């Protein structure tokens, strides 16, 4: 197992684990976190991921009695990462993604969006982050594809994971959690706007996003949810910045920042049980949102909208939210595409936003991606 994180332009490479903490059976979920604490106490670094479905087992109302094919938890235990600059450039084969298709038709997607709006109208939820899946084939080298995608559209929280059974390519622009001693920070992302087609429209695109009523409403709902989640863990809960807009190659996106002070030695289980999965990938209120997500979505999310990152022996940690993240297994690949649905959402607008979010990958296809 090899884990490469390149968060905030600092590369850390974890390879050659002493052992792997893996959980596919919910009956062993708590045991996995006990193993995490034991590994940290022995001075190991842990690096890998927690899948979205792990979130079901932090809350009794969401428990499912089943075993999973894809791990809920997958963390390698390492002596120390390599910190020197890592050159990804290689001569490996870079093939385009082929046979791109969605797991849902456009009419069914519209019905699901209307169903969510009905739940909002009834007062069940304020917002739902609804996700679909893009499936495709990829026969080239996964690391070469990761390298190419990252060069094409740099993001602040990319990561690459290689195992014997699968590869994960995460081109994530979103921070889940960063803990340094007693300081905890999260940056929920909500709000998307296309880049402009001309010089002036492109210049004003970030401002249009920043002051768009619907996107601001989405963003502030999730920032409030994260404030509440962090309030279960610590004190001095603050939101020092709201509605920050970052410009990427194909779109603009909005984040807010929420911070807290917590116990330096907090248990990893307690920390994740309070905030995982992030409210930015569920909606609000979180538990009811996750129940509706489970009802409507056609596939397990797996790595998508979980968490990828590492934990140090002194319990500092750094995890992204794996959006814009590819999972490749035996040349079969998938990528989740999601968006926040509020009362003002329309099926057409959300569909177009999803197509825009996938463009960083679909633009590499030899044939135009025209979802139906």
What is residue 118's three-state secondary structure? helix
| Nearest Cα residue to 129 out of 120, 141, 137 | 120
DSSP result, 277-307: SPGGGTEESHHHHHHHHHHH-SS--TTTTSE
Does the annotation mark 190 as catalytic?
Answer: yes
How far apart CA 261 and CA 182 sit, in angstroms, is: 5
Does the annotation mark 334 as catalytic?
Answer: no
| Nearest Cα residue to 176 out of 48, 57, 280, 293 | 280
In our burial notation (b when 16+ CB lie closer than 10 A, e otherwise), range 258-296 reads bbbbbeeebebbebbbbbbbbbbbbbbebebbbbbbeeb
- Whether residue 322 contacts residue 172, with contact meaning beta carbons closer than 8 Å, is answered with yes
How far apart CA 178 and CA 318 sit, in angstroms, is: 4
Catalytic residue, from 53, 133, 174, 357: name it: 174
Catalytic residue, from 133, 187, 190, 286: name it: 190
Active site residues: 174, 190
């Amino acid at each position: 197992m090899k884990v490469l994180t390149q968060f905030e332009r600092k590369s850390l490479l974890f390879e050659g684990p002493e052992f792997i903490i893996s959980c596919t059976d919910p009956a062993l979920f708590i045991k996995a976190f006990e193993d995490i604490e034991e590994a940290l106490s022995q001075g190991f670094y842990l690096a890998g991921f927690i899948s979205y479905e792990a979130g079901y087992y932090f809350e009794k109302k969401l428990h499912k009695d089943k075993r999973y094919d894809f791990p809920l938890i997958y963390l390698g235990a390492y002596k120390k990462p390599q910190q020197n600059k890592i050159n990804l450039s290689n001569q490996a084969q870079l093939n385009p993604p082929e046979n791109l298709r969605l797991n849902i038709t456009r009419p069914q997607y519209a019905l699901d969006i209307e169903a969510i709006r009905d739940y909002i109208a009834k007062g069940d939820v304020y917002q739902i982050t609804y996700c679909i899946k893009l499936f495709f084939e990829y026969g080239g080298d996964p690391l070469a594809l990761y390298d190419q995608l990252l060069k094409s559209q740099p993001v602040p929280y990319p990561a690459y994971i290689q195992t014997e059974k699968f590869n994960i390519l995460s081109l994530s622009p979103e921070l889940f959690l960063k803990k340094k001693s007693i300081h905890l920070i999260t940056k929920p992302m909500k709000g998307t706007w296309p880049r402009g087609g001309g010089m002036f429209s492109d210049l004003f695109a970030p401002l249009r996003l920043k002051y768009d009523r619907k996107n601001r409403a989405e963003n502030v709902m999730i920032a409030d949810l994260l404030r509440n989640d962090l309030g279960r863990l610590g004190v001095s809960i603050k939101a020092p910045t709201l509605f920050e807009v970052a410009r990427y190659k194909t779109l603009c996106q909005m984040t807010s920042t929420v911070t807290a002070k917590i116990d330096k030695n907090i248990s990893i289980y307690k920390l994740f049980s309070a905030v995982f999965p992030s409210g930015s990938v569920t909606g609000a209120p979180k538990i009811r949102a996750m129940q509706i997500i489970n009802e409507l979505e056609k596939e397990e999310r797996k790595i998508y909208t979980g968490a990828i990152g590492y934990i140090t022996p002194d319990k500092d940690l750094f995890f992204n939210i794996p959006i814009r993240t590819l999972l490749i297994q035996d040349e079969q690949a998938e990528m989740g595409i999601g968006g926040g649905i509020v009362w003002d959402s329309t099926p057409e607008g959300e569909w177009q936003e999803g197509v825009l979010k996938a463009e960083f990958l679909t633009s590499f296809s030899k044939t135009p991606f025209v979802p139906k």
